[in-house]
Structure 1
């Protein structure tokens, strides 16, 4: 799909089996339905300035639960570099060429059946251990039921409970999937040290862990993801010092 802006309108063109669906969902991909009117950041100078400089910031909603869930599972308990490397290798090898006048080499990720057909040794070659690959298999087996969670809304406890009911899903997956697929405003990403540390440095001048990040964001419960987007979209970055997580190559074992 391609999109171009002309004045106050957007023109979208799409190709392939999902073309009609893609065009229909362009407004939500651009943030329609994401209401920021209830967010008050006037008590925090950093956030107030970030909001002033990003007046058009919106949370997007893809409506694709499985396509958000699989990469979230790959990101569990590994670095971003490892997760992105695994995603890139698996999608390029087992996805399908993008339809239409797409850039050369662009690939569409597998559907639920496609993920389930990937043999165990391919997961191993991509650096994905048995626990994460088994979790992907479990979620693909119930993919239709997961897609029906879109009817619940943008997020909330019911969605998180359904996602965490899948063995291996965990807190990270239950937070990341609504954020990516549903544009859930109260579902902040966590996992690892990067995001909590950035939030900590931005709001109080020192790093925090996942629990500390949630405590800092508590005054904006229901808008926590919006606050995080304000921070990350502002261009703020934490100081470049301190130990880094070691990247392990599980493919050698």
Structure 2
């Protein structure tokens, strides 16, 4: 099937397709994200012009291509270079440590994605608040599959477009409960949906102003704002302070011990402007962080409450 719109380009930095956009996938069963047998990435999104499905591929080591279907195809194709890290600039990043220098050298194509879809990223981040990742991904899969829109184009498997703000607001309480989402997160997401247009304006703001706009919303704190900034705004410095595991992961990776959030911030201060990049590089290097003998966040099945 011929795409409605397409674009091929040569990125200004080395770019690894999956390393860059893989962070946008919310679990293996994400209805809005898929890979085909050729290794291409398929993703659905909502643009100002309407819904779209995109297929991202890497025909050569230094070439990228985006094909798109749907009423929002042209807008999605125009956004594709930024989605794949065109705005990301690692030129001033100084690894400082052999561990990071080696990770940076071995992963030259790791870029920071920028989807420019604030509410889309926010909805997923809210579902991930204070629950284990597998539980949040299951809720995302259930809700997007039921309330999302069928994806346009020849997708490799049935896919859905993430619900619009109005569609998130229309989800009844028992459907949230059935998807394992507690009333607090459901209320936070539905309230934010009322102001989705204002939240989208964060795309054109400074990092500080974008965080301030997001955290004006009840139930949205620094952690959630950072998760949005990492994916929607392409912020290489956005650090998920307050994460259940992150401080100890960084602490053991860089100092061999547990850390508080404040200690993590002090440790990462030399990499200001690239703190999220440091975390990504540590992950890409296979650093395990804290040994798996400490307490784990427990699964809370809200459907049983």
Q: What is the TM-score when the length of structure 1 is the normalising length?
A: 0.93
Mapping 1:36-185, distance limit 5 Å: 36-42=90-96, 44-153=97-206, 156-185=207-236
1:247 aligns with 2:274: no
1:11 aligns with 2:62: no
Deviation track 1:163-194 (CA, whole Å, cap 9, x = no partner) reads 11111111211111111101112111244432
User: In structure 2, what is the Cα distance between the partners aligned to 1:252 and 1:83?
Assistant: 16
- Relative to its length, the structure with more helix (as a share) is 1
Deviation track 1:122-162 (CA, whole Å, cap 9, x = no partner) reads 11111111111111111111111111111115xx2111111
**Structure 2 SS opposite 1:121:** helix
Q: What is the TM-score when the length of structure 2 is the normalising length?
A: 0.78
| Maintained 8 Å contact 1:89/1:126 | yes
Can you give the 5+ residue segments of structure 2 that lack an aligned partner in the other structure? 1-53
After TM superposition, the structure 1 stretch with the greater mean CA deviation from structure 2, 22-31 or 185-194, is: 185-194
Q: CA deviation at 1:91?
A: 0.8
- When residues 6 and 250 of structure 1 are mapped into structure 2, their CA distance, relative to the original with a 3 A threshold, is closer
User: In structure 2, what is the Cα distance between the partners aligned to 1:89 and 1:6?
Assistant: 33
Mapping 1:179-194, distance limit 5 Å: 179-194=230-245
Match of 1:200 in 2: 251
User: In structure 2, what is the Cα distance between the partners aligned to 1:158 and 1:167?
Assistant: 17
Aligned residues: 250
User: In structure 2, what is the Cα distance between the partners aligned to 1:218 and 1:184?
Assistant: 16
Match of 2:16 in 1: none
Deviation track 1:94-124 (CA, whole Å, cap 9, x = no partner) reads 1122111012232111011110110111111
Can you give the 5+ residue segments of structure 1 that lack an aligned partner in the other structure? none
User: In structure 1, what is the Cα distance between the partners aligned to 2:282 and 2:106?
Assistant: 11
User: In structure 1, what is the Cα distance between the partners aligned to 2:131 and 2:241?
Assistant: 13
Q: CA deviation at 1:63?
A: 0.5
User: In structure 2, what is the Cα distance between the partners aligned to 1:195 and 1:126?
Assistant: 26
